[in-house]
Amino acid sequence: MAKWPREFTPVFMERQQRFRKIKDLGMQKAAWHYYSTHPVEFIEHWCCTYDPRNASKKGVPALMPFLMFPKQHELIHFYMGLIDEEEDGLIEKARDMGASWVSVVFSVWLWLFRPGSSVGWGSRKEILVDRRGDPDSIFEKLRMVIRYLPPFLLPEGLNEKLHLTHLKCINPVNGATIVGEAGDSIGRGGRKLIYFKDESAHYERAELIEASLGDNTNVQVDISSVNGAGNVFYRKRHSGITKVFIMDWRDHPGKDQEWYDKRKEKAVAQGLEHIFAQEVDRDYDSAVEGIFIPAKYVKACIDAHLKLGFGAMGSKMVGLDLADEGQDSNALAHTHGPMVLNMDEWHDGDTIQTTIKAYNYAVENGADMLRYDNIGMGSTVKAKVRELEEKHGRKIEVLGFGAGSGVVNPDKDYVEGKKNSDMFLNAKAQAWWLLRDRCLKTYNAIELGYEYPHDELISFPSEMPHLNDLITELSRPKRETDDVGRVRVEKKEKMKKRGVPSPNLADALIMCYAPIKKSLYHFG
């Protein structure tokens, strides 16, 4: 891991040398033109940030040059794309990732280089938006960034008392503004080029704010740590419409597994593990009772093969979950024994095109079996695969998965004295529970040192596509029981009522591990 933060003294010296070089009017105009199209360089070359925690650290100043790490660079480009395409964005962040500071300096860049632009900032309380002398407030951050810029970048005639006032920053040369609002007043202050909503998952009346902002800006940006499921932030995060940017703690160059383990140990000791799960693990369901697969089990499976020393083995499976309706999506999972090799999700294509795509993927990747949801839209999949086999001469085992059908091996004991038929309502509940078992065993192996056969575990490689979405989906459904105590999975209709979308990727994955009657590919 690279040392972080970098040494600040050389950076200050570089800035001094750069400032001396840009001394005549011609060079200053050239620099101005360059920075007007290079926001990352503007920030790296001239902007400062502030962290009062550094006051207790020897040799580390509280006021520091703003040196962004790669994920923060990506965030700047993400914002540029939102403005260019006039799309809404959402930043799902772990604690202490600098998202607010990056958004502040980007706001200053717009204020300087986009004449006539108006940037909005909102939070749930006014003191969080602006309180003089408090660097935790948004506008004190803005004033601080502007205050420490070199004179040649500042608007001519800028007067802090006149132009950097309470809840407003005015550029006296180009007419650009940055305006702050709080609580239910967010969105009432007129039209904006872009509007940043800080910690928006914690708003009391988010629906009211959405209604106010809808006609006043084409680019809303929700920035927040997570705060449970079912709120507006959660629904936008999983809508499939809002552009999402994730800042995981692993993206920070100053944080590693040792850092994580120490912070978690402290949180557990203080009885604050649920807060840690929300703010560091970005776990929406840490406060939700009865989750089928607890998030801590799922998170432990990330790169479990590296931690426990196992690899791909056994049967190669592809699971296909077809879109039901509306905004729902098709999803595909690819596993090789305990290794989850790939996940994919797409909205386009009817059932026939989706079947062709899944068939081609399964054959090209040497899968032993393609499993699919055979209810409703999936009823034509097998016939289409047989047609493709005859046409291309490439065969593959195909097996439907009936979520509502009976359990596999109903008379076999799940645990001593309780048969599968007594434990599970249907095949879907059985499949979800067996995946839960894999996650639980993996968690116990990593966290508690228990030993299990490797083919009973599961690993999600950290570089796998759609990993964050899969992790979220696996801890989305609740566990329920019927009148006789059999386990069942919360119905999608109930999930939708609490604002939770369908777990398509997770449903594709459970098919890969669902038990199969009298088959060489049995996992149960």
Q: Average pLDDT of each block of 10 consecutive residues along the chain (524 residues)?
A: 66 90 90 96 94 66 87 97 96 93 98 96 92 92 96 95 96 96 86 94 85 87 86 88 95 92 80 77 74 90 97 96 76 97 87 91 94 77 88 88 91 80 91 94 91 95 94 90 80 82 92 77 37
Angle at 331 between CA 326 and CA 335, to 5 degrees: 170
Domain assignment of residue 1, yes or no: no
If asked whether residues 229 and 333 sit together in one domain, one would say: no
> Peptide bond before 410: cis, by omega within 30 degrees of 0?
no
Count of other CB atoms within 10 angstroms of residue 377:
18
Task: Encode 274-309: b = buried (16+ Cβ within 10 Å), e = exposed.
Answer: eebbbbbbbbbbbebeebbbbbbbbbbbbbbbeebe
Alpha-helix residue ranges (DSSP H) falling in 125-251? 126-129, 138-147, 160-163, 206-213, 232-237
Q: What is the CATH number of the domain that holds 47?
A: 3.40.50.300
If asked whether residues 477 and 344 sit together in one domain, one would say: yes
Task: Encode 20-38: b = buried (16+ Cβ within 10 Å), e = exposed.
Answer: eebeeeeeeeebeeebeee
Q: What is the total count of domains within the chain?
A: 2
Q: 3-state class of 397 per DSSP?
A: strand
- CA–CA dist 444, 157 (Å, integer): 64
Helix (H) or strand (E) holding 440: helix 427-447
Cβ-contact 459, 465 below 8 angstroms: no
If asked whether residues 111 and 186 sit together in one domain, one would say: yes
Q: Where does a domain end: 251, 275, 305?
A: 251
Q: Are strands 63-65 and 220-224 parallel, antiparallel or unpaired?
A: unpaired
Q: Compute CA distances 481 → 156, 298, 425, 488, 511, whole Å.
A: 69, 22, 8, 6, 21
- CA–CA dist 501, 161 (Å, integer): 49
Q: Which amino acid is at 22?
A: I
**Category of 248 on φ-ψ map: left (φ > 0), alpha (ψ -120 to 50) or beta:** beta
**Residue 447, CB-side half-sphere exposure with 13 Å CA sphere:** 16
Q: What is the CATH number of the domain that holds 478?
A: 3.30.420.240
CA-closest candidate to residue 96, choices 273, 249, 304, 261: 249
Domain assignment of residue 523, yes or no: no
pLDDT of residue 327: 58
Domain assignment of residue 288, yes or no: no
pLDDT of residue 441: 92
Residue 485 in tokens:
């105590």
pLDDT of residue 284: 81
If asked whether residues 246 and 324 sit together in one domain, one would say: no
Indicate if the alpha-carbon torsion angle 74, 79, 84, 89 is positive or negative. Answer: positive
Task: Encode 53-69: b = buried (16+ Cβ within 10 Å), e = exposed.
Answer: ebeeeeeeeeebbbebb
Domain assignment of residue 99, yes or no: yes
Angle at 23 between CA 22 and CA 28, to 5 degrees: 55
**Residue 269, CB-side half-sphere exposure with 13 Å CA sphere:** 6
Residue/partner pairs of 402-405 with CB below 8 Å, 24 or more apart: 402/374, 402/375, 402/427, 403/373, 403/375, 403/427, 403/428, 404/375, 404/428
Q: Which amino acid is at 260?
A: Y
pLDDT of residue 521: 39
- CA–CA dist 71, 326 (Å, integer): 33
Domain assignment of residue 444, yes or no: yes
Q: Where does a domain end: 196, 226, 251?
A: 251
Cβ-contact 473, 503 below 8 angstroms: yes
Q: Compute CA distances 460 → 349, 438, 456, 471, 522, whole Å.
A: 27, 12, 14, 9, 21
Q: 3-state class of 138 per DSSP?
A: helix
pLDDT of residue 247: 96
Does the reported pTM lie above 0.85? no
pLDDT of residue 57: 62
- CA–CA dist 366, 38 (Å, integer): 46
- CA–CA dist 135, 64 (Å, integer): 13
If asked whether residues 101 and 210 sit together in one domain, one would say: yes
If asked whether residues 308 and 434 sit together in one domain, one would say: yes
Domain assignment of residue 261, yes or no: no
If asked whether residues 168 and 37 sit together in one domain, one would say: yes
Question: What range defines the domain where residue 218 resides?
Answer: 8-251
Domain assignment of residue 322, yes or no: yes
If asked whether residues 228 and 316 sit together in one domain, one would say: no
Counting Cβ atoms within 10 Å, is residue 350 exposed (0-12), middle (13-18) or buried (19+)? exposed
If asked whether residues 319 and 211 sit together in one domain, one would say: no
Task: Encode 181-196: b = buried (16+ Cβ within 10 Å), e = exposed.
Answer: bbbeebbebeebbbbb
If asked whether residues 409 and 350 sit together in one domain, one would say: yes
Domain assignment of residue 256, yes or no: no
Q: Where does a domain end: 196, 218, 251?
A: 251
If asked whether residues 247 and 299 sit together in one domain, one would say: no
Q: At 164, phi and psi to the nearest 5? A: -115, 70
- CA–CA dist 357, 5 (Å, integer): 46
Cβ-contact 428, 513 below 8 angstroms: no
If asked whether residues 319 and 217 sit together in one domain, one would say: no
Alpha-helix residue ranges (DSSP H) falling in 3-159? 8-21, 25-35, 39-46, 70-85, 99-113, 126-129, 138-147
Helix (H) or strand (E) holding 63: strand 63-65
pLDDT of residue 326: 53
